[in-house]
Structure 1
Amino acid sequence: MLKKTVLFLGIILSIICVFITDRAEAAMLRIDKPKVRLSIAPGNTRTGSINVENVSDAPVEVKAYLEDWFYLPPFDGTKEFKPARSLALSCANWITFVPAEFTVPPYGRQSVNFTVTVPKDAKGGHYAVMFFESPMGKQKQTEGVVVNVVGRIGALFYIEPEGAINKLCVLSNLAIGRPTTDSPLGISADFLNEGDVDITAKATYYIMDAQGIVYARGEFNDLFTLPGDKGRFSSEWKENIPQGKYDIVLTLELGERDSLVREALLTVDANGEISYVGDLK
């Protein structure tokens, strides 16, 4: 009787132990729209489709479902996923789609049709992800437990109620200096998304004198933010800058032809050290 009970429990474990990986290449699936960004007037509806392609020589069973997501610090694009409708900025309730389950033949494709309906009172950006999940086989674990491994690939949804968004950001806490005399010149600033829509910010800088001669220029790391997120731009300049007074100009590209330009005064002393950094204006 004990042996039968153990065997029965082992069968249950082999059924319910599932490991999910987000590695798209392992799932043998490919989609034509990894991002779906739509601007829809409140109260209106938009339809579309996502093509799911099987790049393998065997049929693949696929299950489609929605989840929520948000960016993780340091806001380099890394995301965390949560159950659908669990986050304040979720648009999972706005999305319907068919089919939810299907089989894609070898080297074939399947269209998944979706409908997005924006509520009449919607304001600000809302987000979700449509995952396409497929089995990747089984892996035998210790103590006789077999783990079912599935892979998934996702299409990110960015939905904006047309005419009801506020894109706003703040750049502050500019810092320029060298940790040691032999270190590159470090340049950094805080970025805060104060609006109600996502912002992907790409930033550059240049340092010039009063005659307009540029002594340094470079790029910062990209930042990926949702409303309320705060990240930090960082860059380095390895060359020396002569003694004198300069302007540093920071230009942020915020997408959709939106940009932000801020500048500050700085002074380099006779030793090549930054002796003064003004506020960004």
Structure 2
Amino acid sequence: MKKAIIFLSLLVAVSCLLSEIAHGFRINIDPPRVSLSVAPGKQKSSYITVSNMGSDQPMYVRAYLEDVVYLPDGTNEFLPIGSTPWSCGEWAQLRPAEFEIPPNREESVKITVKVPEGIEGGRYAVVFFETTGPTAKPKEGGTANISLRLGSILSVIVPGTEVYDAKLINFGVSLEEAEEEGKDIYKVSCTIFNQGNVLIRPKGSVKIIDSAEVKVAEISVNADQSGILPRTSQNFLVDIDRELAGGDYTAQVIIDYGGEELIAGQTSFSVKTKGQ
């Protein structure tokens, strides 16, 4: 949980984000996602609350924006604003951008977004809050400051212009030999390309059906609801969570990406009988 919060490697919907480091120093931001619906030429505002919890010292915080990229393997990368075609960072203002929070107090940061004319679909960024915690004393002597940052995803949608469209560009089953003898694992690979102009969070399932047309397994795809930005793809890799007997199988996937139609795919594969 701490890894997801501190490095924002997983952007999940929760009621708040909370990080804690040495000596009871804790920082909280709420909400972890800000969504605004803004017409071209108009502006809207929202707030993120930053709290200094569990410390007897003031906390200095710097707020800033970066672009977010969801990589094909499901990890995230953060870049300077304006680096991506789906960035809204240059349209947003943060006030205050630097501030100090007394112990056990909070500060509200106002986010104002003005959308230029001619914009359609969705635009995205991440609002980071970076702070240096109270001085920590390493075991070998000396002092060190511990820094951390937390982020809240900013989504800006131009109403009435959203296009939800996606396609399945790869679907297959492969054998991964495990280190332990007799523990081979079959993995399902499912790659989805976002053809639309808004972020999607596809979800679905894969059914494994044997030659007698009996369903022997069903696996969730993208259970943590990872996002795919416009004109990008992501590969979802999941294990078949049961041992398969030797024989022929069919894998069927159905994905709901938020559009009017579901996307589906099918592939066949074989499992060798042990000892062959």
How far apart, in 1, do the equivalents of 2:167 and 2:45 lie? 35
Aligned to 2:20, the other structure's residue is in SS state helix
Runs of 5+ in structure 2 lacking a partner? Answer: 1-5, 9-18
How far apart, in 2, do the equivalents of 1:114 and 1:154 lie? 13
Structure 2 residue identity aligned to 1:195: G
Match of 2:157 among 157, 160, 184: 160
How far apart, in 1, do the equivalents of 2:77 and 2:270 lie? 43
Superposed displacement of residue 73, structure 1: 3.9
Structure 2 residue identity aligned to 1:264: Q
Partner of residue 117, structure 2: 120
Q: How does 1:223-242 map to 2 (within 5 A)?
A: 223-237=226-240, 238-240=242-244
Whether 1:218 aligns to 2:219 is yes
Partner of residue 12, structure 1: none
How far apart, in 2, do the equivalents of 1:82 and 1:98 lie? 21
Partner of residue 253, structure 2: 250
1:13-38 CA-partner distances (Å, limit 9, x unpaired): xxxxxxxx758433621011111122
Aligned to 1:93, the other structure's residue is in SS state helix
Match of 1:264 among 263, 266, 272: 266
Whether 1:46 aligns to 2:44 is yes
Aligned length: 245
Partner of residue 193, structure 1: 194
Superposed displacement of residue 157, structure 1: 0.5
Partner of residue 53, structure 2: 55
Superposed displacement of residue 268, structure 1: 5.5
Partner of residue 277, structure 1: none
Structure 1 residue identity aligned to 2:238: S
How far apart, in 1, do the equivalents of 2:267 and 2:145 lie? 60
Aligned to 1:200, the other structure's residue is in SS state coil
Superposed displacement of residue 44, structure 1: 2.5
Cα 1:230–1:35 shift into 2, 3 Å: same
Structure 2 residue identity aligned to 1:215: V
1:125-146 CA-partner distances (Å, limit 9, x unpaired): 21112222222256899xxx99
Task: Check the 8 A contact 2:59/2:133 in 1, yes or no.
Answer: no
Cα 1:204–1:151 shift into 2, 3 Å: same
How far apart, in 1, do the equivalents of 2:29 and 2:93 lie? 18
How far apart, in 1, do the equivalents of 2:94 and 2:113 lie? 9
TM-score (norm. length: structure 1): 0.72
Partner of residue 65, structure 2: 66
How far apart, in 1, do the equivalents of 2:260 and 2:77 lie? 27
Structure number having the greater helix percentage: 1
User: Which moved further from structure 2: 95-104 or 146-155?
Assistant: 146-155
How far apart, in 2, do the equivalents of 1:152 and 1:177 lie? 38
Match of 1:25 among 20, 29, 45: 20
Task: Check the 8 A contact 1:193/1:229 in 2, yes or no.
Answer: yes
Whether 1:134 aligns to 2:131 is yes
Cα 1:228–1:100 shift into 2, 3 Å: same
Superposed displacement of residue 68, structure 1: 1.8
How far apart, in 2, do the equivalents of 1:163 and 1:207 lie? 39
How far apart, in 2, do the equivalents of 1:79 and 1:202 lie? 19
Partner of residue 171, structure 2: 174
How far apart, in 2, do the equivalents of 1:229 and 1:91 lie? 17
Percentage of identical aligned residues: 31
TM-score (norm. length: structure 2): 0.73
How far apart, in 1, do the equivalents of 2:46 and 2:174 lie? 50
Aligned to 2:262, the other structure's residue is in SS state strand
Larger Rg: 1
Task: Check the 8 A contact 2:86/2:230 in 1, yes or no.
Answer: no
1:46-70 CA-partner distances (Å, limit 9, x unpaired): 2211111111333212222222221
* C-alpha RMSD of the superposition: 3.4
Task: Check the 8 A contact 1:137/1:150 in 2, yes or no.
Answer: no
Aligned to 2:189, the other structure's residue is in SS state strand
1:214-254 CA-partner distances (Å, limit 9, x unpaired): 2221123454322232222223333336756x764312233
Task: Check the 8 A contact 1:240/1:272 in 2, yes or no.
Answer: no
Structure 1 residue identity aligned to 2:233: K
